Amino acid sequence: MSNPLKCSVCDAVATVHLTQIVQGKVTKVDFCEACAATGGAGDAAVFKLADAVNALTPAPAITCPDCGFTDVEFRRRGRLGCPSCWKVFGVALGGLLTKVQHETQHVGRAPAGTLPLGQLRHRLLAAQQEMTAAIAAEDYETAAKLRDEVARIAAQLDTL
């Protein structure tokens, strides 16, 4: 008979085995009864415990100089540490953004009081994108309006 599985937390014999599959990524964890009870076996909290255990193993490859957040933390939490993290983890996040957002370029508003140049560029991109969508939907009336808007914004950008 094979050796019994050990608890991921305390090395006792594991009697609770959990498998989580998120977007094809399989995570398996084993707990003894006592550790499973503290982690609340059967609910999502157990996996937080599991994540913590898993996060102990790899060494961080990227660290944000502003806030000390690491790629290991990101894998654990799915959230970033501070606005600068977006720059620091930018390349690593590119694939994820395509997966969750389908896009990687912002085309919406900019904060109040920022340079009109930035805002205009955003608006230009948005109008171009909406024009393409309108053409695809064969809504030529809207497309024509958007074409005029694109021309107007482009002209404004030229004068700045």
Partner 1 sequence: MSVQEILADENELTHLLGAQQAVVLSTRVRLARNLEGFPFPGWAKPAHRKEIGERCIEALTKLPRFRKSHVFKMGDLPDLDRAVLVERHLVSKELASGKSGAAVISRDQTCAVMVNEEDHLRIQVVKAGWHLRGTWNIAEQLDDAIGASLGLAFSDELGFLTACPTNVGTGLRASAMVHLPGLCLAGHMEKVTRALSQDGLAVRGWLGEGTEAAGNVFQISNQQTLGLSEDAILRHLGGWVKTLVEQEWNARRKLAQEEGERFVDRLARSLGLLRHARLLTSAEAMNMLSHLRLACDMGCLPEGRRHVVDRLMIEGQPAHVQARQGAELDSDGRDSRRATGVREALRDFPEVGPPTA
Residues in contact with partner 1 by CB under 8 A are: 67, 69, 73, 77-83, 86-87, 93, 96-97, 100-114, 118, 121-123, 126, 129-130, 133
Beta strands in the chain (DSSP E): 16-22, 25-31
CB of 139 to partner 1, least distance (A): 12
CB of 58 to partner 1, least distance (A): 19
CB of 54 to partner 1, least distance (A): 19
Q: What token pair was written down for 87?
A: 């720059």
Closer Cβ to partner 1, 35 or 85, answer by number: 85
Closer Cβ to partner 1, 26 or 112, answer by number: 112
- How far apart, in whole angstroms, are the C-alpha atoms of residue 90 and residue 78? 14
CB of 15 to partner 1, least distance (A): 28
CB 53 within 8 A of CB 18: no
Closer Cβ to partner 1, 15 or 139, answer by number: 139
Closer Cβ to partner 1, 4 or 95, answer by number: 95
Q: Cα dist. 135→58, 107, 125, 126, 142 in Å?
A: 49, 19, 15, 14, 8
CB 134 within 8 A of CB 140: yes
CB of 140 to partner 1, least distance (A): 17
Q: Classify the C-alpha dihedral 28-32-33-37 as positive or negative.
A: negative
Closer Cβ to partner 1, 5 or 107, answer by number: 107
Identify the three-state secondary structure at position 54: helix
